[in-house]
Amino acid sequence: MTSDSIQITDSHCHLDFPDFDEERDAVIARAIDAGVTRMVTICTKLASLPKVQAISEAHNGVFHTFGVHPMSAAEHEPVTVEQLVELSTHPKFVGIGEAGLDYHYTAESAQIQKDSLRVHCAAAAETGLPLIIHARAADDDMARILAEEHANATFSCVMHCFSSSPELARAALDLGFYLSMSGIAAFPKSQALRDIFAAAPLDRVLVETDSPYLAPPPYRGKRNEPGYTVHTAKVGAELFDLAYADFAAATQANFDRLFAKAAAWSA
C-alpha cells in the first residue's frame, strides 16, 4: 500500500475563507488525491453559514460545523442553544464550534466568551455532536468551565489545534476528550508540544490543518490546505513509533468514534 492510497481525515479546516476562492474545487481534489478523503470545514460566523453549507453539500467528503469563535464573540449576536440545535439538523452538520476562550488577543471580552462557551457546551450535550474547542492563553478558565459543564451534562469534545499546556491536555483527556494535532506539532521548535501528544493515548488523537493557517513543513509560511494533513500525520506516526498506515488508521477510527454523524454519512 502506498502512502497516497492511505485514507486520512482533516478534522478542522476553513474552506470558505477567501484564500480558497480562486481554486476551492482544485484544493479539495488535491486533498483527495493525497488520501485526505474527508474534511470538516468549520464555520465561525453565522453570516458565513450559507457559503459553508453549500461547500459541504457540493462535495461528498466535506462536512461542516458552526460555532461562534471566541475572538468574535463580542461582535457576534449571542447564539442560543436552540439555534445550534436547529442548525444541527442539517445532514452534513457534524459538530458544535469552534467555540472557546482566547485571552491572547481578546481578553477584554473574557466574560462574553465564557458565557458563549457554556452555551456551546450545552448544545453539544443536547445534540450529541462533538464540541470543537479553541483555547489560547486561558487554560485555567477553560479547564474549569469544561469540567463544570461536563459534570452538568456530558458531551464529547476535541481540543482543536492543541498547543496549550500539559495541564490542560491532561484535564481534557481526563474528561474523555480528544486532542487534535495541527501543523504546529511539526514545527522544529515544537518539541514540548510533540511530547504532550506522545504522552496522550493513541485513541484520543486527531489530525487537522486549520487551513489556510499553520502549514506544516515543507510548506511552512505558505497557505495551508487540507492535503497537507498528511505531513502532520507523518510526524504523528513518528511520535507513536508507528508506520504511517497504522497511525492513519488509528486517527480514522478516532474520528469515526467522535464524529459519528460524519462516519455514518452516505451520499
Domain ranges of the chain: 3-263
DSSP, res 96:
E
Sign of CA dihedral 67, 71, 77, 79: positive
For 161, phi and psi rounded to 5 degrees? 50, 50
CA atoms of 203 and 107, how far apart (whole Å): 33
Is residue 131 within 8 A of residue 120, CB to CB? The reply is yes
DSSP, res 87:
H
Within 8 A by CB and 6+ apart from 83, the residues are: none
Residue 74's H or E segment, with its range, is: none
Q: How does pLDDT run across 186-241, given as a tens digit for each residue?
A: 999 999 999 999 999 999 999 999 999 999 999 999 999 999 999 999 999 999 99
Whether the predicted model's global pTM rises above the 0.85 cut: yes
Angle 130-258-246 (CA atoms, 0-180°, nearest 5)? 150
- The SS3 call for residue 46 is helix
Q: Residue for cell digits 436547529?
A: 86
Confidence of residue 1 (pLDDT cuts 50, 70, 90): very low
Q: How does pLDDT run across 31-71, given as a tens digit for each residue?
A: 999 999 999 999 999 999 999 999 999 999 999 999 999 99
pLDDT of residue 178: 98
CATH number corresponding to 3-263: 3.20.20.140
Of the chain, the percentage scoring pLDDT greater than 90 comes to 97
- The SS3 call for residue 43 is strand
**Residue 266: pLDDT over 90:** no
Is residue 66 within 8 A of residue 52, CB to CB? The reply is yes
Q: How does pLDDT run across 77-132, given as a tens digit for each residue?
A: 999 999 999 999 999 999 999 999 999 999 999 999 999 999 999 999 999 999 99
**Residue 2: pLDDT over 90:** no
